[in-house]
Amino acid sequence: MIKSLRAVLMLAALAAFSPWVTKTHAAPVIRTEGGLVRGFEAEHVDQYLGLRYAAPPVGARRWGPPASAASWTGVRDATRYGSRCAQAASGNGPRSESEDCLYLNVYRPAGARSNARLPVLFWIHGGGLRVGAGDQHDGALLARTGGIVVVSINYRLGVFGFFGHPALSAEDPDGGSGNYGLLDQQAALRWAARNIGAFGGDPHRITIAGESAGGWAVCANLVSPTARGLFAGAIMQSGGCPTQPLAETEATGAAIAEQLGCTDQARAAACLRSKPPSALLDAGESFLPRFTSGGDALPVPAADAVAAGHFPRVPVITGDNRDEGRYFAQQQGWATLGRQEYDDLVGALFGAAAPAVLAEYPYAAFPAPYAGGYAIAAVLTDSPINEGLGGCPAQDLAATLARHTGTWFYEFADRHAPGLIDDPPGFDWGAAHTLELGYMWPSFNYGTPLYPRLTPPQRQLSGQMLRYWGAFVRSGTPRVPGQPLWPSHEAGDVLSLRPGGETATISAGEYGAEHNCEFWHTLGA
């Protein structure tokens, strides 16, 4: 039986962004439900940063649903990002121990009137539900190019956002725990529904979007009964629909509680809330968060709900990157695998199916000096072992969605995209996980910003992607005059996003051949 490679996604983080912004002059004062805010205008975009959408989840509110934020008097400055939610140091940036972190950011075309009713892109960052923040995604370019309002958010992460325990479940009216980060996302959506009109946005035309774990979040919100009516479209980039049952979440939480010395069930919740953020971060160092099924927010596993069509019939874009697995191979230190190490790893991952996998993906078929790295990356890309991310599982998810609603499927296929880091030297990233973000968000950064490194043909692809996404947010279809037609996935067609004007439609068969889907389906994957 194929084993789940959960450890891979522990490092499915978006890249870092140092949260600074060049300011020009003040943007108009906006009245929100909490009070007045003043942002700034830069490069024809009004930006309102660090807007609090919920009360700080501290003290008794730790591991509770988000509460309403307090109002204020006067005009509050909105020119700096709010604190990042507590997280370990990573490629995303330094360690944070802040629990006062429920902030969002709004970007709009400069001077947009409150009655403009512009469509809204609501972005949920990735990072394996462990790391990341809204400040990684400066929405100015999308707002300006697409003529839309862009919102990016923070939400509780790791042990603060996805920790479950029987004592916490007992406190909850719906009898569950573990989805606090999901509830934060929905609180931010409700804030947008109530307030985005003041910024010129249309609360009835909000498209939820996210990449990697942000794509998981989009799927979770798509099927969540408590998110119904809060969005009109969805975009899943390199995501999927993984969830786990409440019993598993609680068992993991109980083990962490024991590590922290909180073993008395009667006092476990109070004991856990007494611990400083630093102790919780350290205890949760190896914690792999997932959305939890079994409560009001997610009554059934998200994948089951999608398969049954139990979600609103909103239009969906979904897609992946041609070489998703190269990111994970590099992050796990597998880029330099030798032949025997590669064979042993495939054996550990696939058990009795390993000989068939090795025959289909032989070490000798991949180029030196990183043959083992490219081989395991191809396996991770094509197979379902990476929690359904990329390759054949992505195509299967698109086909499932298309049976129920208008769906458009893409593959980011720039196999010469700028890589994140040169480690090991000369390792070819291809079109790896996260790299499409550098074409859409100039703030996407992993030591060296990617957007300035794009060649003219890649800038052309960037412009195409920005226009496709903007058109989808505006109209519910990614159709752009003068650009290649992006057909719906009803017949299995895939838009292959390539630089230099080479973007084109490929068939389901061509995509399946790229990723050996007949083999994986025959294997029962």
8 A C-beta contact, residue 49 and residue 89:
no
For residue 408, list its beta bridge partners: 317
Asked whether the beta carbons of 195 and 108 are under 8 A apart, the reply is no
Whether 113 and 120 have beta carbons less than 8 Å apart is answered as no
Two structure tokens written together for 325: 């697995």
CA 474 to chain centre: 21
325: Cβ contacts below 8 Å, ≥ 6 apart: 376, 377, 378, 379, 380, 381, 382, 386, 390, 432, 433
Contact 488, 408 (CB under 8 A): yes
Q: For residues 46 and 143, give the distance between their C-alpha atoms in angstroms, rounded to a whole number.
A: 9
Task: Quote the DSSP letter at residue 96.
Answer: B
- The bridge status of strand 407-412 relative to strand 445-446 is unpaired
- Which residues are catalytically annotated? 212, 324, 433
- Please identify which residue in the block is written with the tokens 């923070």: 154
Q: And the tokens for 233?
A: 């479209």
Compute the distance between CA of residue 178 and CA of residue 291 in angstroms, rounded to an integer.
7
Partners of 317 in beta bridges = 235, 408
Stated as kind and residue range, the H or E segment containing 317 is strand 316-321
Of 255, 234, 251, the closest CA to residue 189 belongs to 234
DSSP E strands, 68-196: 75-77, 103-109, 118-124, 149-153
